[in-house]
Chains A and B, each alone.
Chain A
Amino acid sequence: AQSVAQPEDQVNVAEGNPLTVKCTYSVSGNPYLFWYVQYPNRGLQFLLKYITGDNLVKGSYGFEAEFNKSQTSFHLKKPSALVSDSALYFCAVRVLNRDDKIIFGKGTRLHILP
């Protein structure tokens, strides 16, 4: 079955430290991978995506993500966390089959401590 896993419900990081939010996936074929962010009482905002090519993709607000095909992972990273990065982060995968659905992980709440 196609699935996306975000193993951490919450991640706490001190401001200025690097952050990583983990995501692994299980799909057949070569998926499209996405990260979204949700601020309180808001909709989801697109951060970045991996389609093909360079395994390190850069996105909005200084975020980047590393695609690792052998580990089927797509971890979100940022070199230096800001308090304003505190939000709920979702990993998603587009399954390239007849249904062409986008499946989301359960989300990871990121707390940046001042």
Chain B
Amino acid sequence: NAGVTQTPKFQVLKTGQSMTLQCAQDMNHEYMSWYRQDPGMGLRLIHYSVGAGITDQGEVPNGYNVSRSTTEDFPLRLLSAAPSQTSVYFCASRPRRGQSEQFFGPGTRLTVL
């Protein structure tokens, strides 16, 4: 199993550009989440999904869109990048039921100039 994979690892954008951060998992997990990590702020939940076709907003959803067309994939879209979106982004997945922990991807470091 590859676990949770994220692409790209690094990205530099100019203000106003759009891009999609990819996330995929091969563990058949229903629950997937996107977090951003900023110094002194910990991990903040952006969006999450409890299964294919279902998404919901987390703590800091503004400026981001998500979709969940398959169980495996959960892309995060930045429609018009802003410097405030400079951060490290982590995707995570877990089974929806039971007592399992979350599994994290390696992260994407995004810089918006």
Contacts and interface: CB of A to CB of B under 8 A. Distances in A.
Contacts of B35: 104
B42 interface: yes
Q: Interface residues of B: mostly helix, strand, loop or mixed?
A: strand
A92 B44 CA distance: 11
B106 A43 contact: yes
A103 interface: yes
Nearest to B105: A43
B27 interface: no
A44 B40 contact: no
A9 B41 CA distance: 11
The range of chain B's interface size is 20 to 34
Interface residues of A, number: 23
Interface stretch (A12-20, A73-81, A94-102): A94-102
B69 interface: no
Given A43-B105, A104-B43, A49 B56 contact: no
Given A32-B99, A103-B45, A107-B42, 8 more contacts: A9-B40, A36-B104, A43-B104, A43-B107, A46-B102, A90-B42, A102-B94, A106-B42
B74 interface: no
A38 B48 CA distance: 21
B111 to A, nearest CB: 15
Interface string B74-113: 0000000000000000101010100101111111000000
Nearest to B91: A43
A72 B99 CA distance: 19
Contacts of A36: 104
- 10 closest A-B pairs (Cβ-Cβ)? A106-B42, A104-B43, A43-B104, A44-B104, A46-B101, A43-B106, A51-B99, A104-B42, A107-B42, A43-B107
Given A43-B90, A90-B43, A102 B106 contact: no
A36 B90 CA distance: 14
6 contacts: A6-B42, A34-B101, A42-B107, A43-B105, A51-B99, A102-B102
